[in-house]
């Protein structure tokens, strides 16, 4: 009798459970590697910040300095040509050395995870960093999340390849790099983890979460140690005055969903427009740069600041401190920012769409806040409160990261009282955007190339169903003493291609029609010397995921369910798949 039969257990199943326990140690090992990933992501975020400031000071002020400065450029109207320099140089670098660094960056990391086992060329991070710093520093209307995600993810990918990790483990390091980069850039350690979980890695599990948490903690700590501990945005204290305000925030969620879809379409419409221009890239950069520069100059002359240049820090400070109260100004900035951002990217610039989404959400929310305060003076929140909710709603609708937007905006403002309106606006915006358009800003870039990314991260239904729930209790089987004729008759009668071979209570293996056809034995010959001896037993309490792992290990099609030493049923791969799909549809 086999050892597993004495214990009432499956050797193959036990071995697989043992392999599963090793995953805990692998997770700990990956977490230690993620300390290094976090260090690089944190330093990368700081370095990107200083590089952007350097190019800004050089191009706008004519000084060599890494200091973060704001103010008017001494070049006067010539500022319209500053974005030309940054966009042209960024376009030249990406075309020559790393085409995947062009545009907003995050989709390329998603592609590496989904189709390339997490492998990213290290040169991409270098080119993306310099190109994005040039674009943003010269006034290109883009954000920092694209380059920092590629910096962290590229290093995680490189580390995985150097240490010869499995594709799954490499992907976890890629996600950890993204988590650390986002956490350090915006001072949002939890938001960084959620960004990676929702938008980068394909699964939720402790094996993915633990390394990402480590990376995000380390990266954010390094960033705050160098740049200071403070929220990304400082806002007045908010308090909900009336529960009826939630209706206004719901309306803001609808408006943000509509604007999100318009924004996505605009980005790719302008990208196609520039791609279809049959002129050299340098002239595309010239045209796009002049347009962006002209919008910045217009903003200065009309609104008193270069609001649309770069990430729009001046505007964010003004709106979140209730210094912008003009409906016309806010609505105008929505239009101007969309034009500036889409042209910056379409003309060859490099950078993200997260900061522009925050800008648009703040402007849209601020506009609704102005109207709300006109209609209900003294009975509604400040303009800044609506701007904050608009920021979260817009990010949710544009990126598809609902939880990411909620947690990141909360961490960026550290205002808990805004959570209820923020959650409502983000969820409604996401559903409105989904109802109107199935793509997000990130997935659209990939589907245009014929690449579909799956974001359904529900817990695998294979882990929610046990073998005992789906097994058939009536077992059709043969014994080692069955003849070939009897076995074939049994197969034909029940339309089966494979039968278990059972001798009393001993499960010995399987016999298939293919095996009998290939060997062509005599009809009266016993199958005792013909069947394949393999351990096809599994406890009936096992889940279908483990059952499928056993099937893969034994290269079989059927398993016998055991209750200790008793045979209680049979389960096939087909039965497991159908049961899982039925369960999937019901949840």
Strand 558-563 to 506-512 pairing: unpaired
Q: How far apart are CA 98 and CA 265, in angstroms?
A: 25
Helix (H) or strand (E) holding 138: none
- Condensed to tens digits (0 to 9), the pLDDT of residues 178-234 reads 999 999 999 999 999 999 999 998 887 778 899 999 999 999 999 999 988 777 776
pLDDT value of position 5 = 38
What tokens were used for 116? 């390339």
Task: Please compute Rg for the chain using Cα positions.
Answer: 30
Helices (H) and strands (E) in the chain, counts: 23, 6
What tokens were used for 170? 């490499």
Q: How far apart are CA 421 and CA 245, in angstroms?
A: 8
- Please state which CATH number belongs to domain 28-227: 1.10.3080.10
Q: Are 350 and 100 in contact (CB under 8 A)?
A: no
Q: How far apart are CA 447 and CA 443, in angstroms?
A: 6
What tokens were used for 2? 């086999």
> Which residue is listed with tokens 């660094």?
101
Q: How far apart are CA 581 and CA 587, in angstroms?
A: 10
Any idea where the domains of the chain sit in the sequence?
Answer: 28-227, 245-447, 460-586
Q: How far apart are CA 362 and CA 79, in angstroms?
A: 26
Report the candidate in 389, 269, 437, 399 with the shortest Cα–Cα distance to residue 341.
Answer: 269
The half-sphere exposure of 540 on its side-chain side, counting CA atoms within 13 A, is 17
Q: How far apart are CA 36 and CA 177, in angstroms?
A: 10
pLDDT value of position 10 = 63
Q: How far apart are CA 91 and CA 84, in angstroms?
A: 10
> Which residue is listed with tokens 């997260």?
354
Q: Are 538 and 547 in contact (CB under 8 A)?
A: yes
Q: Could you list the pLDDT tens digit for every one of the 587 residues in the chain?
A: 333 433 445 666 676 665 666 778 888 999 999 999 999 999 999 999 999 999 999 999 999 999 888 778 899 899 999 999 999 999 999 888 888 777 778 888 998 888 888 999 888 888 988 999 999 999 999 988 888 998 999 999 999 999 999 998 999 999 999 999 999 999 999 999 999 999 998 887 778 899 999 999 999 999 999 988 777 776 766 777 778 889 999 999 999 999 999 999 999 999 999 999 999 989 999 999 999 999 999 999 999 899 999 888 889 989 998 889 899 999 999 999 999 999 999 999 999 899 999 999 999 999 999 999 999 887 888 899 999 999 999 999 999 999 999 999 999 888 888 899 999 999 999 999 999 998 999 999 888 887 877 666 656 677 788 999 999 998 999 999 999 999 999 999 999 889 999 988 889 999 999 889 888 888 999 998 889 888 899 999 888 988 998 998 888 889 999 998 899 999 999 889 888 887 766 65
Domains 28-227 and 245-447 share a fold: yes
Q: How far apart are CA 313 and CA 329, in angstroms?
A: 16
Contacts 24+ apart (CB under 8 A), 92-97: 92/281, 92/282, 93/127, 93/130, 93/131, 93/134, 94/127, 94/128, 94/131, 94/348, 94/350, 95/281, 95/348, 97/123, 97/127
> Which residue is listed with tokens 């290939």?
518
- Which option is the CATH number for 460-586: 3.20.20.70, 3.90.25.10, 3.40.50.970, 3.10.580.10? 3.10.580.10
Architecture of domain 245-447: Orthogonal Bundle (1.10)
């Amino acid at each position: 009798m086999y050892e597993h039969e004495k214990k009432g257990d499956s050797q193959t199943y036990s071995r697989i459970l043992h392999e599963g326990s090793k995953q805990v140690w692998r997770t700990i090992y990956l977490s230690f590697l993620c300390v290094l990933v976090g260090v690089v992501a944190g330093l990368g975020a700081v370095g990107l910040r200083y590089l952007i400031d350097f190019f800004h000071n050089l191009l706008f002020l004519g000084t060599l300095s890494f200091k973060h400065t704001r103010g008017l450029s001494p070049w006067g109207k010539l500022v319209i040509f500053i974005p030309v320099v940054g966009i042209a140089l960024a376009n030249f670098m990406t075309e020559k050395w790393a085409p995947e660094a062009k545009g907003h960056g995050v989709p390329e990391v998603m592609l590496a995870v989904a189709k390339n086992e997490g492998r990213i060329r290290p040169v991409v991070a270098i080119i993306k960093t310099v190109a994005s710093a040039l674009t943003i520093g010269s006034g290109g209307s883009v954000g920092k999340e694209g380059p920092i995600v590629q910096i962290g993810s590229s290093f995680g990918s490189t580390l995985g390849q150097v240490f010869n990790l499995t594709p799954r483990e490499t992907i976890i390091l890629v996600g950890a790099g993204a988590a650390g980069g986002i956490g350090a850039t915006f001072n949002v350690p939890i938001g960084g983890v959620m960004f990676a979980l929702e938008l980068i890695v394909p699964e939720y599990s402790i094996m993915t979460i633990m390394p990402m948490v480590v990376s995000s903690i380390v990266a954010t700590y390094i960033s705050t140690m160098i740049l200071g501990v403070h929220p990304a945005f400082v806002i007045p204290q908010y308090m909900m005055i009336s529960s009826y305000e939630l209706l206004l925030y719901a309306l803001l969620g609808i408006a943000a969903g509509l604007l999100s879809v318009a924004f996505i379409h605009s980005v790719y419409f302008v990208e196609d427009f520039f791609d279809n221009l049959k002129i050299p890239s340098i002239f595309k950069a010239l045209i796009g740069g002049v347009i962006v520069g002209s919008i910045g100059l217009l903003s200065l002359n009309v609104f008193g600041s270069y609001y649309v240049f770069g990430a729009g820090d001046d505007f964010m400070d003004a709106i979140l401190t209730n210094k912008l109260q003009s409906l016309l100004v806010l609505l105008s900035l929505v239009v101007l920012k969309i034009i500036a951002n889409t042209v910056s990217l379409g003309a060859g610039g490099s950078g993200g769409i997260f900061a522009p989404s925050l800008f648009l959400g703040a402007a849209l929310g601020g506009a609704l806040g102005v109207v709300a305060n006109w209609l209900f003076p003294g009975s509604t929140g400040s303009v800044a409160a609506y701007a904050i909710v608009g920021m979260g709603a817009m990010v949710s609708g544009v990126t598809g990261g609902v939880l990411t937007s909620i947690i990141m905006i909360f961490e960026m403002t550290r205002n808990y009282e805004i959570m209820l309106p923020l959650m409502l606006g983000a969820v409604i915006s996401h559903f409105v955007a989904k109802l109107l358009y199935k793509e997000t800003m990130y997935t659209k870039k990939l589907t245009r190339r014929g690449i579909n990314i799956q974001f359904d991260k529900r817990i695998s239904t294979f882990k929610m169903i046990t073998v005992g729930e789906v097994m058939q209790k009536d077992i059709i089987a043969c014994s080692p003493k069955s003849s070939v004729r009897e076995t074939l008759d049994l197969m034909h009668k029940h339309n089966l291609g494979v039968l278990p071979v059972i001798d009393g209570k001993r499960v010995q293996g399987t016999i298939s029609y293919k095996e009998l056809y290939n060997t062509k034995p005599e009809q009266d010959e016993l199958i005792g010397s013909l069947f394949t001896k393999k351990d096809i037993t599994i406890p009936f309490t096992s889940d279908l995921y483990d059952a499928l792992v056993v099937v893969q290990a034994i290269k079989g099609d059927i398993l016998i369910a055991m209750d200790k030493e008793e045979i209680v049923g049979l389960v096939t791969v087909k039965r497991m798949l159908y049961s899982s799909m039925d369960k999937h549809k019901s949840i």
